Amino acid sequence: MKLLRYGPPGRERPGMMDDAGEIRDLSPHMRDLDGDALGPESLAALGRIDPATLARVEGAVRLGACVARPGKFVCLGLNYADNARALGLPRPQEPAIAMKPLSAVCGAGDDIELPRGSAATDWEVELGAVVGRRAQYLEAGEGLAHLAGYCLVNDLSERHFQAARGGDSSKGRGHDSFGPVGPYLVMRDEIPDPQDLRLWLEIDGERVQSGWTGDMFFGVDEIVVHLSQFMTLLPGDIIATGTPAGIGAGMKPPRFLREGQMVRLGGTGLGEQAHRVTAPFGT
């Protein structure tokens, strides 16, 4: 089962994708795809719905973020061995995390807007894990059972803001449009092994990232367990699990996004995103 949200920004409706790739309207059955809709009982009830009984959504529609109003957006840094090698950095002793402001969340086809003064806006294709059950102080092996499913994430950041503007990395992570999520949420049982997925990203048709989730230092289960030691994870929370090699900061010389470029990314069973890079707001 693949769940999604469609419609104009701020007016998205919940939907389901059927086996033929058609979008079906779920709004008679729920208000939105938020944390309340992602618990085990709610998802089981959705799984009993025959998509053929739902109205088909006709025509091209915008797909919004596949999770509404997440409580947290947690990002992992340096979690792939190939990326650490490319950056010349050692394996971290434990997962390194940062929080992305929720105002950065956007849809899978929305524009990526460069911040004012941007000199080094970078891309990161990532596997996103979406929490489905409250998780606190989990034991090893309990993490995956607390997830509702998985999605594609582009964890964009402005490297110059991160490195030269003081404080933590939030200044570089938080610009509007820096957190595309979707196009849809894939249920956990459809991805039995999250450590066996391919991820890729292209800039203007050039493939710059091509990685395998089995290259993670810390697998998805370990990440969820680790995070639960420091914060209570709630249904609807999004965890971006790190990115493989091929980010702009790791290239020689470094390369970053420019106005007018097209960014495409995808992953095994996760669908694709496509974004146009636009000028800063008000310019």
Omega prior to 183 cis, within 30 of 0 = yes
Count of Cβ atoms closer than 10 Å to residue 126 Cβ? 27
pLDDT, tens digit, 9 for 90 and up, residues 229-239: 999 999 999 99
Of 104, 81, 222, which is closest to residue 156 (Cα–Cα)?
Answer: 104
pLDDT value, residue 166: 67
Domain that holds residue 193: 67-278
Count of Cβ atoms closer than 10 Å to residue 138 Cβ? 18
3-state secondary structure of 144: helix
Of 249, 274, 221, which is closest to residue 123 (Cα–Cα)?
Answer: 249
**Residue 54 belongs to some domain of the structure:** no
**Residue 59 belongs to some domain of the structure:** no
Omega prior to 253 cis, within 30 of 0 = yes
Q: How far apart are CA 65 and CA 261, in angstroms?
A: 22
**Residue 251 belongs to some domain of the structure:** yes
Q: How far apart are CA 152 and CA 3, in angstroms?
A: 13
Distances (CA, A) of 222 to 4, 15, 184, 275: 27, 31, 24, 31
**Residue 41 belongs to some domain of the structure:** no
pLDDT, tens digit, 9 for 90 and up, residues 9-40: 999 999 999 999 999 999 999 999 999 999 99
CATH of the domain at 229: 3.90.850.10
Q: Could you tell me the pLDDT band of residue 282, with boundaries at 50, 70 and 90?
A: confident
Q: Could you tell me the pLDDT band of residue 67, with boundaries at 50, 70 and 90?
A: very high
Q: How far apart are CA 104 and CA 270, in angstroms?
A: 20
**Residue 185 belongs to some domain of the structure:** yes
Looking at the chain, how many residues does it have? 283
Of 229, 246, 4, 62, which is closest to residue 136 (Cα–Cα)?
Answer: 229
**Residue 7 belongs to some domain of the structure:** no
pLDDT, tens digit, 9 for 90 and up, residues 110-134: 999 999 999 999 999 999 999 999 9
pLDDT value, residue 163: 76
Res 281 pLDDT > 90: no
**Residue 190 belongs to some domain of the structure:** yes
The predicted model scores a pTM of 0.96
pLDDT, tens digit, 9 for 90 and up, residues 244-274: 999 999 999 999 999 999 999 999 999 999 9
Q: How far apart are CA 68 and CA 110, in angstroms?
A: 16
How many domains are there within the chain? 1
**Residue 146 belongs to some domain of the structure:** yes
pLDDT, tens digit, 9 for 90 and up, residues 160-174: 988 777 667 778 999
- Contacts (Cβ under 8 Å, ≥6 apart) of 117: 280
pLDDT, tens digit, 9 for 90 and up, residues 208-218: 999 999 999 99
pLDDT value, residue 171: 84
- The H-or-E segment that residue 157 falls in is strand 157-158
Mean pLDDT of 54-82: 96
pLDDT, tens digit, 9 for 90 and up, residues 73-107: 999 999 999 999 999 999 999 999 999 999 999 99
